[in-house]
């Protein structure tokens, strides 16, 4: 009863003044009974924004009527505006531009028409509301539901679509977007994040011109190697950190994605986001539903900084597995040993983990396979048994040794892949994606397993489940994925090859769903030859991700800066390594701005360096809550100056941590004072530089020991950094 009353209450809010009867558009009486057509408004709101749809009473179609800052009054949206802006434009009838959805019916009719049928609202919690809008083809048995999940406090909306086909035979979907949005601005500025292996998340911004601009990937697996599925779209003018009107959008999908931006002849822009339909016409069986992944977006009229903070808070509370739980600091052995290790070496690394004060030792690639031992990347992938030569006493021994030192033990796997030189390949050639009648094509000497095959799903599930059952002491997994699809063909999918890209990802999610049911809080790092798979579809299952194999801290400042726009710091794994010639301090300070770890030969550290590292780790553990969950303010961009400065501020504004990196220096270089943000102007703060090196040149903050008002720090600022390239400062700011 209570539920019913709540629903009636919500419906009343949704249809203010909609007291006329709206006859469902598919009703046979529709034309006769709509003498006095009445529009219906369907708001999808968050705390500060409104996305409002309007059902046009005369044609029964659904239009986007408004998207932007919250409106005090929506009455004027009835019967006006947004006439052309179909909420989910179809192909084949009268739509002249790129459609959100296109399909062919059983009789060969290539058109779809969608009219409004009904809508409802589900309140999942005080903060999360789902609005469902049901559309239907008046002639064909196709139903399309647009779902909007509003995260009220975070100002984030997640949209996905379900297409239900009730025809007699399979239908083919050619386009199936997650979202279609419309904008009417004078100019549009698109910010994209491009790259490659070891150079992820390079920022580019350009003005959209008439016609179509597409950001997409066709790589299948390791799909985001050249481009992460994220963008900013600024309206009218370019936006910066604190000013400008924009949306930040990202697709929760670990496979091929596409963002399409089309500026029409009137200067209106439609943005279509979803799975890349390229080579992916999808056959849907009768009675089945095709569900798209989520497009996740936030609107800001205070620049990119606010948009990032909205997404960070959403990710913390909803988007990333256990986003508000602590993370483990770790020592990894990849760059220290590569494939060359034995029990003795590993136990000494366990000692080092303990000595440094880290939580976990992560054993990387190379621990498995016997017939074709994994001594380099040419063999063994797929044979997940401990290599007897390297680990005669098995993983159990290492888990025990770790335990006896009070550190956790973690392990690397790459369960979706296989080397041709492996027993798995010999025993199950039909489990592998490869073209008949053509040569196999390799990338990193490996092939992709056919996850669409349920037997392969079972195999992959058992790699993890088997290991965690045998060794319940394992406390962490790094799940890697080191190649994209080429020459891919699934024996299992037979004549449905164009379902492959979509089914692969959904099969991966099935496996992860199953694993998460059994191991709901187990920490797993998402990795894909660096940042080849970073998206909120996968991060529902993972606690963190490996952003790049490039651990040179100078490069990392840019790479981590890029990720920070869309992903929260606690999920971005940064390791102090031997890559790059910078000082240990610089490396440490760069790693500290996210989820810190190490991958260095600890035994080669001098006494001073060891002490510095131990103190830095202790500092990190003391401050990680602010770094992980505080509000991020990017103060000075490395794209604008020869330095990068950012800070995190906790929610009560009583504690902040500031990171400043001098990257380069020109003759007579001077830097202006850094004006902080996010503090309370009325509070008084003390500033303490941490991670200091005795006798080092790190501290030129004359004011170090003094106290300042928040107002002073934000309006006048402090001189931080000394202009020497590749130096850094970390400030602890305390009320």
Residue ranges in contact with ligand GLA by CB under 6 A: 334, 364-365, 377, 412, 480, 482, 527, 529-530, 546, 549
DSSP, res 431: G
- CA torsion, ordered 240, 530, 539, 491, to nearest 10 deg: 130
Question: Strands 360-363 and 408-413: what pairing?
Answer: parallel
Question: Where do we find the tokens 């990849």?
Answer: 334
Q: Which is nearer to ligand GLA, 144 or 413 (CB)?
A: 413
Residue nearest to ligand GLA (CB): 365
Distance CA 672, CA 705 (A): 20
CB of 573 or CB of 726, closer to ligand GLA: 573
When the beta carbons of 417 and 657 are compared against ligand GLA, the nearer one is 417
User: Are 256 and 215 within 8 A, CB to CB?
Assistant: no
Residue 333: CB minimum distance to ligand GLA, A: 10
Q: Which is nearer to ligand GLA, 49 or 528 (CB)?
A: 528
Least distance between ligand GLA and beta carbon 547 (Å)? 10
- Measured between alpha carbons, how far is 150 from 265 in angstroms, rounded to an integer? 32
- Residue nearer to ligand GLA on the CB measure, 541 or 546: 546
Tokens encoding 84: 């052309």
Q: Which is nearer to ligand GLA, 524 or 679 (CB)?
A: 524
The distance of closest approach from Cβ of residue 565 to ligand GLA in the complex, given in angstroms and rounded to an integer, is: 22
- Distance between CA 30 and CA 22 in Å, rounded? 9
> Smallest distance, Å, CB 534 to ligand GLA?
12
Alpha helix stretches (DSSP H) within 382-489: 394-404, 423-427, 454-470
Query: Which neighbouring-strand residues pair with 453?
Result: none
Please name every residue paired with 271 in a beta bridge, in sequence order, or none if there are none. Answer: 181, 261
3-state secondary structure of 708: strand
R_g of the chain, CA atoms, integer Å: 27
DSSP string, 520-576: TT--EEE-BTTBSS--TTGGGT-SEE---S---HHHHHHHHHHHHTTS-GGGBEEEE
Tell me how far, at minimum, the Cβ of 535 lies from ligand GLA, in Å: 16
Of 411 and 656, which CB lies nearer to ligand GLA in the complex structure?
411
CB atoms within 10 A of CB 240: 14
Closest listed residue to residue 635, CA positions, set 537, 685, 564, 545: 564
Q: How far is the CB of 637 from ligand GLA (least distance, A)?
A: 27
274 or 410: whose CB is closer to ligand GLA? 410
Q: How far is the CB of 532 from ligand GLA (least distance, A)?
A: 8
- Which of 405, 406, 408, 390 minimizes the C-alpha distance to 338? 390
Q: How far is the CB of 364 from ligand GLA (least distance, A)?
A: 5
Nearer to ligand GLA, 273 or 528 (CB): 528
| Closer residue to ligand GLA in complex, CB, 233/481 | 481
> Looking at beta carbons only, is 231 or 412 nearer to ligand GLA?
412
What is the smallest separation between the CB atom of 531 and ligand GLA, expressed in angstroms?
A: 9
Q: Across the strands, what pairs with 446?
A: 443
Q: Least separation, in Å, of the C-beta of 298 and ligand GLA?
A: 29
Cβ proximity to ligand GLA: between 82 and 547 the closer is: 547
Both tokens of residue 640?
């604008």
CB nearer ligand GLA, residue 350 or residue 481: 481
Question: CA-CA distance, 224 to 218, in Å (whole number)?
Answer: 9
| Minimal distance, residue 410 CB to ligand GLA, in Å | 12
**Tokens coding 669:** 């270089």
Closest CB 481 distance from ligand GLA, rounded Å:
9
Beta pairing, strands 49-55 & 40-45: antiparallel
Strands (E), 177-279: 179-184, 188-194, 202-207, 211-216, 227-235, 245-252, 257-263, 268-275
Taking the least distance from each CB to ligand GLA, the nearer of 154 and 416 is 416
User: Which conformational region is residue 290 in: left (phi greater than 0), alpha (psi within -120 to 50 degrees), or beta?
Assistant: beta
Question: Least distance from C-beta 382 to ligand GLA, angstroms?
Answer: 14
Can you tell me the distance from the alpha carbon of 676 to that of 674, in angstroms, rounded to the nearest whole number? 6
Query: Judged by CB, which is closer to ligand GLA: 162, or 549?
Result: 549
- State the minimum distance, in angstroms, from the CB of residue 343 to ligand GLA: 20
* Smallest separation, CB 447 to ligand GLA (Å): 15
User: Which ranges constitute the DSSP H helices of 15-110?
Assistant: 30-33
φ and ψ at residue 643, rounded to 5 degrees: -150, 165
Q: Could you give the CA distance from residue 72 to residue 302 in angstroms, rounded to a whole number?
A: 19
Straight-line distance from the first to the last Cα atom of the chain, in angstroms, rounded to the nearest whole number: 49
**For residues 58 and 335, what is the distance between their CA atoms, to the nearest angstrom?**
66
Are the C-beta atoms of 543 and 320 separated by less than 8 Å? yes
């Amino acid at each position: 009863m209570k539920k019913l009353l709540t629903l009636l209450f919500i419906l009343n809010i949704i249809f203010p003044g909609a007291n006329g009867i709206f006859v469902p558009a598919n009703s046979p009486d529709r034309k006769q009974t709509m003498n006095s057509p009445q529009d219906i408004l369907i708001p999808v709101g968050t705390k500060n924004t409104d996305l409002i749809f309007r059902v046009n009473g005369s044609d029964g179609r659904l239009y986007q009527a408004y998207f932007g800052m919250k409106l005090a009054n929506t009455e004027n949206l009835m019967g006006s505006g947004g006439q052309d802006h179909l909420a989910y434009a179809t192909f084949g009838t009268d739509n002249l531009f790129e459609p959100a959805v296109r399909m062919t019916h059983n009789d060969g009719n290539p058109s779809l028409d969608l009219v409004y049928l009904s809508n409802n609202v589900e309140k999942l919690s005080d903060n999360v509301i789902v609005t469902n809008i049901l559309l239907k083809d008046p002639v064909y048995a196709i139903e399309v539901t647009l779902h909007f999940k509003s995260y009220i406090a975070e100002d984030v909306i997640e949209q996905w679509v379900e297409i239900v086909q009730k025809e007699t035979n399979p239908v083919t979907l050619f386009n199936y977007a997650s979202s279609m949005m419309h904008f009417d601005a004078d100019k549009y500025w698109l910010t994209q994040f491009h790259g490659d292996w070891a150079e992820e998340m390079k920022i580019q911004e350009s003005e959209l011109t008439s016609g179509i601009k597409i950001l997409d990937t066709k790589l299948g697996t390791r799909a985001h190697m050249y481009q992460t599925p994220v963008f900013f779209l600024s309206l009218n003018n370019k936006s910066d950190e604190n000013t400008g009107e924009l949306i930040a959008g990202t697709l929760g999908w670990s496979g091929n994605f596409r963002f399409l931006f089309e500026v029409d002849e009137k200067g209106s822009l439609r943005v279509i986001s979803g799975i890349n339909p390229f080579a992916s016409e999808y056959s849907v069986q009768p009675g089945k539903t095709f569900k798209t992944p989520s497009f996740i977006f936030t609107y800001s009229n205070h620049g990119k900084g606010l948009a990032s903070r909205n997404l960070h808070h959403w990710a913390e509370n909803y988007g990333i597995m256990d986003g508000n739980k602590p993370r483990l600091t770790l020592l990894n052995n990849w760059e220290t040993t590569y494939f060359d290790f034995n029990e003795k070496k590993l136990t000494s690394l366990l000692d080092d983990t303990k000595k440094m004060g880290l939580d976990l030792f992560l054993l990387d690639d190379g621990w498995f396979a016997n017939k074709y031992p994994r001594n380099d990347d040419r063999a063994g992938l797929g044979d997940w048994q401990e290599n007897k030569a390297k680990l005669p006493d098995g993983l159990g021994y290492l888990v025990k040794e770790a335990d006896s030192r009070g550190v956790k033990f973690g392990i690397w796997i790459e369960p979706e892949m296989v080397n041709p030189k492996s027993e798995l390949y010999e025993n199950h050639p039909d489990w592998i994606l490869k073209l008949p009648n053509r040569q196999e094509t390799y990338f990193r000497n490996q092939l992709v397993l056919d996850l669409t095959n349920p037997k392969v799903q079972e195999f992959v599930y058992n790699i993890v489940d088997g290991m965690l059952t045998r060794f319940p002491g394992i406390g962490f997994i790094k799940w890697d994925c080191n190649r994209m699809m080429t020459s891919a063909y699934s024996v299992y999918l037979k004549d449905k090859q164009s379902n492959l890209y979509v089914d692969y990802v959904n099969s991966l999610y099935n496996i992860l769903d199953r694993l998460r049911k059994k191991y709901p809080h187990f920490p797993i790092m998402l990795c894909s030859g660096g940042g080849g798979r970073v998206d909120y579809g996968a991060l529902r299952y993972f606690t963190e991700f490996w952003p790049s194999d490039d651990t040179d801290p100078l490069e990392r400042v840019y790479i981590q800066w890029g990720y920070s726009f869309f992903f929260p710091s606690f999920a971005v794994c940064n390791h102090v390594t031997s890559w790059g010639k910078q000082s240990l301090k610089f490396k440490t300070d760069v790693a500290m701005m996210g989820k810190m770890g190490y991958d260095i030969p600890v035994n080669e550290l001098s006494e001073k360096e060891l002490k510095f590292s131990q103190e830095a780790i202790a500092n990190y553990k003391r401050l990680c809550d602010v770094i992980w969950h505080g509000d991020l303010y990017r103060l000075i961009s490395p794209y604008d100056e020869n330095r990068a400065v950012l800070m995190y501020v906790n929610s009560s504004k009583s504690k902040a941590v500031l990171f400043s990196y001098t990257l380069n220096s020109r003759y007579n270089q001077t830097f202006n004072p850094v004006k902080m943000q996010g503090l309370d102007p009325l509070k008084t703060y003390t500033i303490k530089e941490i991670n200091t090196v005795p006798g080092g040149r790190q501290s030129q903050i004359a004011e170090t020991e003094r106290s300042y008002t928040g107002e002073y720090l934000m309006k006048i600022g402090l001189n931080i950094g000394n202009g020497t390239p590749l130096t850094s400062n970390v400030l602890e700011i305390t009320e």
